[in-house]
Amino acid sequence: MSEFVKIYSYGGVQEEYCKKINKIYHEIMKIEKPVAYVKTYGCQQNVSDSEKLKGMLSEMGFTISCDCDKADIILFNTCAIRENAENKVFGNLGRVKAIKKKNPNTIIILCGCMTEQEPVVQKIKLMYPFVDLIFGTHSAQEFPKMLYDILNKNSSKGKLVHIINKEDSILENAPLIRNNKIKAFISIMSGCNNFCSYCIVPYVRGRERSRRPEAIIKEFKLLLEKGYKDLTLLGQNVNSYGKDLEEQINFPSLLKKLDDFKYEYKIRFMTSHPKDATKELVDVIANSKHIARNIHLPVQSGSNQILKRMNRKYTKESYLEIIEYAKEKIPNVTFSSDIIVGFPGETYEDFCETLELIKNVKFSSLFTFIYSPREGTPAATLPDPVSKKEKTKWLLELLKVQESISQEICKKMVGREERVLAENYIENEKCLMCRSDGNIILKVPSNTDLSGEFINVNIVDSARESLMGSLI
């Protein structure tokens, strides 16, 4: 079972519902230690959202378990970014049906991005009627009340609830439970204004909404005080941070504020949109004490024709310009990216332009996907004549190129000294798992568990996509 660390405490009306739910389980249902199982699909933002949901469940008196078979509540926090993610949810719902049949009092809950799509909700109602509660990304703050209504059969729709969500401010001061004592995610904004033609995110997460800087700084400082060492700032497009706020603040200026504490720690962030990645951002990273020298900058394609169809609002030339500026200003900087293979209308010639860009930039790692149509997006209506088999061939060709580049980057790092964070310890291997400043996995033999400490290492060897080090 994972170890969870409680950070915040709830307040207001929802706290009262938490107390009422606690009372129902303990006094009415006579369950001394109710158990909740939370399964998260998709991105780091969903992981962050689930930490809040776990916090609420803890306030209700639940123990969080990694075993769903004996859980009193089973909650799936879903992802809609690709069809495969949705299929995994539907597959696991089939397993949950047997649990529900065995124990009808088990509450089954679906939330997250999938549930913001009305066709998906209708499918769940039709094919999975045993699901008790459905709510979307903007309704998390109402979770205790919705669960209380379910337990009391007060829902106007009977047992099944779906809240038609509206964009609202980001939930602050919710109870928050983290499953790691060293690394933490901090959501700085939610939503997206870009409407890339293939992406469902703006439709399920809504428009961009930034947290107030003082709230972010308060959370950041609290985590440092509690001993966290690796803090990742999250947003669908962190480079747009602050554009919707009254005060004059942008993402680089927020980074400056967070870089100024008297602790030893690392700052990471994702995801950045290339059209909003500025030289100011690069300069802040170059002059910082704590920001990792790795920039995740999803390019998606190296063809201007495809980038235009994707509605990405930048060209490969402008993308390469910011990459070259970062290489010039930040010693030993590494880059990672996302690539979509087989976008509707993409030709092999377009794909080859992507290969050339990859060879030019020399990414340390790539997240690669074959295009997955999302109902409701403009790209889903475009002609798509290239077969899945052909797209798979392209993807394998790309992966072979990237494997060679990753191996080359790792090999060049041998002999370098770095100060890195020991993230965890593998007891049976007597090995510390770390990451280089450029976000490359680094294994360091050690007879002592130094997890949570910064250590000095020599990089002594490299593998295909990872490094081996020795303690100094």
Indicate whether 187 belongs to any domain.
Answer: yes
| d(C-alpha 56, C-alpha 192), whole Å | 26
The pLDDT of residue 163: 61
Task: Print burial letters for 164-200: b (CB count within 10 Å at least 16), e (below 16).
Answer: ebeeeebbeebbbbbbbebbbbbbbbbbbebebbbbb
Tell me, yes or no, whether 170 lies in a domain: no
**183-187: strand order across its sheet:** 183-187, 230-234, 266-270
Q: Which domain holds residue 456?
A: 417-471
The answer on 233 and 136 residing in a single domain is no
pLDDT at 301 over 50: yes
The answer to the question of residue 310 being in a domain is yes
Higher pLDDT, 366 or 152: 366
pLDDT at 167: 60
Same domain, 404 and 422: no
**Domain final position from 110, 136, 162:** 162
Q: What share of the chain is helix, strand, coil (3-state, %, to 5)?
A: 40, 20, 40
- The three-state secondary structure class of 423 is strand
Amino acid in the structure at residue 419:
R
* Other residues' Cβ atoms within 10 Å of the Cβ of residue 36: 23
| Tokens matching residue 395 | 């993807």
Q: Is residue 175 part of a domain?
A: no
Please tell me whether residues 282 and 356 are part of one structural domain.
yes
Is 173 a member of any domain?
no
Same domain membership, residue 386 and residue 245: yes
Both 397 and 263 in a single domain?
yes
Pair 12, 51 in one domain: yes
Mean pLDDT of the chain: 91
**349 and 323 part of one domain:** yes
Task: State residue 140's pLDDT score.
Answer: 82
Per the domain annotation, does 439 fall within a domain? yes
**Percent of the chain beyond pLDDT 90?**
72
Question: Domain holding 53: CATH number?
Answer: 3.40.50.12160
pLDDT per position as a tens digit, 254-266: 999 999 999 999 9
Tell me which of 366, 381, 413 is where a domain ends.
413
Q: Which residues contact 331 (CB under 8 A, 6 or more apart)?
A: 293
Which of 125-134, 308-317, 414-423, 445-454 is predicted with the least confidence, judged by mean pLDDT? 125-134
% of residues, the chain, pLDDT over 70: 93
Residue 21 is predicted with a pLDDT of: 94
**Residue of 18 and 10 predicted with greater confidence:** 18
Both 245 and 370 in one domain: the answer is: yes
Whether 7 shows a pLDDT value over 50: the answer reads: no
pLDDT of 1 over the 50 cut: no
* Residues 258 and 345 reside in one and the same domain: yes
Q: Do 363 and 426 belong together in one domain? A: no
User: Last residue of some domain: 364, 390, 413?
Assistant: 413
Any domain includes 168: no
Integer Cα distance of 109 and 163 in angstroms = 13
Q: Element (H or E) spanning 143, and its range?
A: helix 143-151
| CATH code where residue 199 lies | 3.80.30.20
CA distances, 81 to each of 202, 208, 276, 422 (Å)? 11, 17, 22, 32
Q: What length is written for the chain?
A: 472
Residue 172 falls within a domain, yes or no?
A: no
Tens digits of residue pLDDT in 41-53? 988 889 999 999 9
Are 70 and 36 contacting, i.e. CB atoms less than 8 angstroms apart? no
pLDDT (tens digit per residue) in 73-121: 999 999 988 888 888 999 999 889 999 999 989 999 999 899 888 888 8
For 318-354, the pLDDT digits (tens) are 999 999 999 999 999 999 999 999 999 999 999 999 9
Whether the predicted pLDDT of 173 surpasses 80: no
Question: 127 and 229 in one domain?
Answer: no
Confidence of residue 2 (pLDDT cuts 50, 70, 90): very low
Summarize pLDDT for 283-298 with one digit per residue, the tens.
999 999 999 999 999 9
Domain harbouring 443, CATH code: 2.40.50.140
Total structural domains within the chain: 3
Q: Are residues 388 and 296 in the same domain?
A: yes
